[in-house]
Amino acid sequence: MADTIILEVERFHPERDTEPSYQSFEVPLRADWMVLDALNFIKDQLDGSLAFRWSCRMGICGSCGMTINGVPKLTCETLLMDFAPGPVRVGPLDHFPVVKDLVVEMDDFMAKLQKVRPWIVRKDDFKPQREFIQTPAQLEAFHQFSLCINCTLCYAACPVSGLDSNFIGPAAIALAHRYNLDSRDQGQEDRLDIISQHEGIWDCTVVGECSTVCPKGVDPSLAIQQYKLTATKEWFKSFLLPRGKN
């Protein structure tokens, strides 16, 4: 087997280029190297101007998400050897504006995330004197959705996110659902008003790729479909018992 592999990296300079192009780099093919290691090799040894994000190198921070051979993946968890003999095509995450090379603009995602209030909302004057005890069943209800690391691979895999920039998107809805299912939270009603709009859950056409590409095993598609059922039930309740709401 060859001891090197070709990496075709998407390059874009915001002050020079009108659109991205690919640049090829020959990097060592080592059994224990991830794609991120190859990108760091390029940055350190071949071309210091290459821009990309990374931090923890262990699939926790979610900052090194990129499109590898057309599939959104965390580069720190993707073995270079899996693509031998190559070439490996690395690009920025799809459906996001490209700031430079492999770095994408996350402002829109951050705004959407904030909109769904992904934190514990209390409506009463609750001042905990000790930890809020939850049963294993109560924890199990939201646990898988709490594993989301905001890597936005699900947005890159979702064609609806690409076609409709107003779509709130899989991760934000999954995180909203996580707090809705939390026994400590009282913000379900506020979130439902935001998420049950057309740009929320009803924009989703169940492609299901968000759940397939998630590196943490979160199932955003399930969260969205569960939310659809909840929204439908709430609509029927408000329709049949219009005065039932306080």
Partner 1 sequence: MPQYTTFQPKPYRPRMSAYWYLDQWHYLRYALRESSSFFVAYFCVITLIQIATLKAGPTHYAHFQALMRCPVIIILNALALAFILLHAVTWFLLVPRVALRQVLNRPTPDLIASTPNFMVWFGATLIVALFILGVF
Residues at the interface with partner 1 (CB under 8 A): 12, 14-15, 17, 19-20, 70-71, 94-95, 97-100, 105, 137, 140-141, 144, 159, 162-163, 205-209, 212, 219, 222, 225-226, 229
**Phi, psi for 172 (deg, rounded to 5):** -65, -40
Whose Cβ is closer to partner 1: residue 40's or residue 145's? 145
- As a residue count, the chain comes to 246
Joined together, the tokens standing for residue 229 give 């059922």
Residue 18 token pair: 């009108």
Q: How far is the CB of 80 from partner 1 (least distance, A)?
A: 21
Query: Would you say 14 or 85 has its CB closer to partner 1?
Result: 14
Question: By C-beta, is 56 or 229 nearer to partner 1?
Answer: 229
Nearer to partner 1, 100 or 191 (CB): 100
- Quote the least distance from Cβ 140 to partner 1, whole Å: 7
Instruction: Report the C-alpha gap between 91 and 19 in whole angstroms.
Output: 13
In the complex, the smallest distance separating the C-beta of residue 189 from partner 1, rounded to whole angstroms, is: 19
CB nearer partner 1, residue 105 or residue 193: 105
From the CB of 51, what's the least distance to partner 1, in Å?
11
Cα–Cα distance for residue pair 158/37, rounded to 1 Å: 27
Helix, coil or strand: residue 68: strand
Q: At which residue do the structure tokens 């990309």 appear?
A: 52
Min CB(199)–partner 1 separation in Å: 17
For partner 1, the closer CB: 85 or 159: 159
Residue appearing with tokens 């009108």: 18
User: Residue 22 and residue 90: Cα distance in Å, rounded?
Assistant: 9
Q: Which is nearer to partner 1, 28 or 159 (CB)?
A: 159
CA–CA separation, 100 and 109 (whole Å)? 18
Least separation in angstroms between residue 11's CB and partner 1 is 11
CB of 46 to partner 1, least distance (A): 23
**DSSP output for 114-182:** HHT--S----S----SS-----HHHHHHHHGGGG-----HHHHH-HHHHH-TT---HHHHHHHHHHHT-
Give 88's strand partners.
Answer: 7
